[in-house]
Amino acid sequence: MHGNIEVRGLKMFLDVLLFVYDDYLDIIPPKTRKILAVILLTIGALCIISYSIIYDDFLGIIALLIGILLVVVGLVTFFHNSMSGETIITNEDSNEVVEQNTNNSALPWLISSVTTLAFILVASVIFLWLRSVADEILIGGPPPTLTGWEQSYQELTGFDEVSGLDGSGVVVCVVDSGIEMSHPDLKHLTLAGWFDVINGQNEPYDDEGHGTAMAGIIVAKNGLSGNAQGVDLLVAKAIDSNGEGTDTGIAEAVDWCADNQADIISLSLGGEGGISIGGITTDQLENAVQDALEQGIFVVAAAGNDGGQDDDGDVSSPGSVEDVICVGGATRLGNVWSGSSEGDNDGRLWPPMLPRSDPDMKPEVLGPGAEVPILFAGGSGDGSWWGWASGTSAATAWVSGGLAIILEAHPELQREGASGGQNAIEFIKTKLSDNSQMDDGQSEHDDRFGYGIFRIDMILDSLSNSTSEEVTENSVVKLQHSDINCCSNQAERRKTPIVPPASSTKAAEWFELTD
């Protein structure tokens, strides 16, 4: 019943619209009408096609309806001559020209057909939308280029060889600029905790965008796929809308993470460190990080983005702290990203630093750092929810997610696990140094390539094949064998890069830490 009312209403609207438009077409030359019809049909078709690209439900339906209307008008324009209700008849006997109105106009048939088609299309759109809401199916989404790049990095780091693990039971704390919970890829997410150092707001938000991008690498779902979607996620906002934070503020955020039972703290940020001798430092953030490490919390931090001619000679703080897992950037080809900072592992007189030794030489590993698919906060202001960024920030988040997978497979290594603590951190760092994908011809740590590219499959395989008890320093680590699917294929995983997508990001990949 309702359907008939909607069809009759739409038909009445089109009757009036087409009657007025039909009179207007009479004054347009036939050839011009054909050209106009082609233009209208083309634009209408593009609007209808765009519905499958636009994620926003409202905008997508508007585009679809506009497209249908343009197609209708285009058809009326194209078939205008055949819809005329008047014919010209010449009387052969008297040379008299007579106008005869026929009742065979094509206009009513066209209106009925198009309105029926329009109703079916609108009903189909509503059905698909309701189904997408019910089943959490993403209509539209990131361009195939981005999902292809994501798959390339999953293959490069071995995530494609791991199943049955998603980080469940592991608490990850991301200290950054916040998180945009309304993002299509984060609507499934319920935060385990939120802390705003900058403005003290109670509800999560992200006024800079970097935090949403980093969190998405770990927990995104539907469009892009985070590598540890099942983690319990804590988010601490310690970076302001300008992409800057203070040592005091970030140290406070790190302490909050530790107080809220974080197993992993992900720090996609860095800056100059303090003067450190024998583990004692003048830097407030480094002190907070050291306190977290002593509680058995894994801390993952970015190496820095000043590689090349501008490299200052060492990774940034707090990635420079001994037991922190410092992450550099790699490309999809398996090469070190050009902007990835190198480590100084030989020691120096000033600022004083002793030579570093295995497994704590910097950086420890490389993660995806060049054209990494990420989430945009707030649609980036232009309606785009997805793009890419380059930098060791993304590499840090990627490795943090991978570490969560490891701790899920071996919960005894978590901070509250039977073998948790600083020795567990040193044990995992030893596994990283022995089971990362080294560069061609590499046999030991490299100041830029580290111990190699992070390979989750190789590390899990190594842990599964370990003896039931492995001694690390003065602690015995008992390994639990989980039901996981991974393989020990150590062949290099490299992909040919693809043309960049149309949209990208100018996300702040580095934060200036000031007192």
Q: Which residues are catalytic?
A: 176, 210, 393
Which DSSP string corresponds to 255-274?
HHHHHTT-SEEEE---B---
Task: Give 5: exposed, middle or buried? Use CB within 10 Å, 0-12, 13-18, 19+.
Answer: exposed
Q: What span, in angstroms and rounded, lies between the C-alpha atoms of 47 and 61?
A: 10
b/e code 356-368 from CB counts within 10 Å (16+ = b): beebbbbbbbbbb
Question: 247 — alpha (psi -120 to 50), left (phi > 0) or beta?
Answer: alpha
By DSSP bridging, strand 280-281 and strand 298-302 are: unpaired
CB atoms inside a 10 Å sphere around CB 355: 10
Q: Determine the Cα angle at 423 with ends 418 and 429, to 5°.
A: 115
Instruction: Pull the structure tokens for residue 127.
Output: 């059905």
Instruction: Pull the structure tokens for residue 510.
Output: 């580095």
Answer for the pair 140, 166: CB distance below 8 angstroms, yes or no: no
Residue 189 φ then ψ, to 5°: -85, 135
Neighbour order of strands in the sheet with 232-237: 193-196, 232-237, 171-176, 264-267, 298-302, 325-330, 365-368
Containing 135, the helix (H) or strand (E) segment is helix 107-135
Can you point out the beta strands (E) in 26-158?
A: 86-91, 96-101
Instruction: Pull the structure tokens for residue 512.
Output: 């200036």
Place of tokens 């206009």: 107
Instruction: Pull the structure tokens for residue 144.
Output: 């195939």
Handedness of CA 101, 102, 103, 104 (dihedral sign): negative
Place of tokens 């560069």: 439
Q: What span, in angstroms and rounded, lies between the C-alpha atoms of 123 and 10?
A: 13
CA distances from 276 to 273, 279, 348, 509 (A): 8, 6, 12, 26
Q: What span, in angstroms and rounded, lies between the C-alpha atoms of 289 and 281?
A: 11
Q: What span, in angstroms and rounded, lies between the C-alpha atoms of 179 and 158?
A: 27
Containing 64, the helix (H) or strand (E) segment is helix 57-78
Q: Establish whether the linkage from the previous residue to 368 is cis, with ω within 30° of 0.
A: no
Helix (H, G, I), strand (E, B) or coil at 239: coil
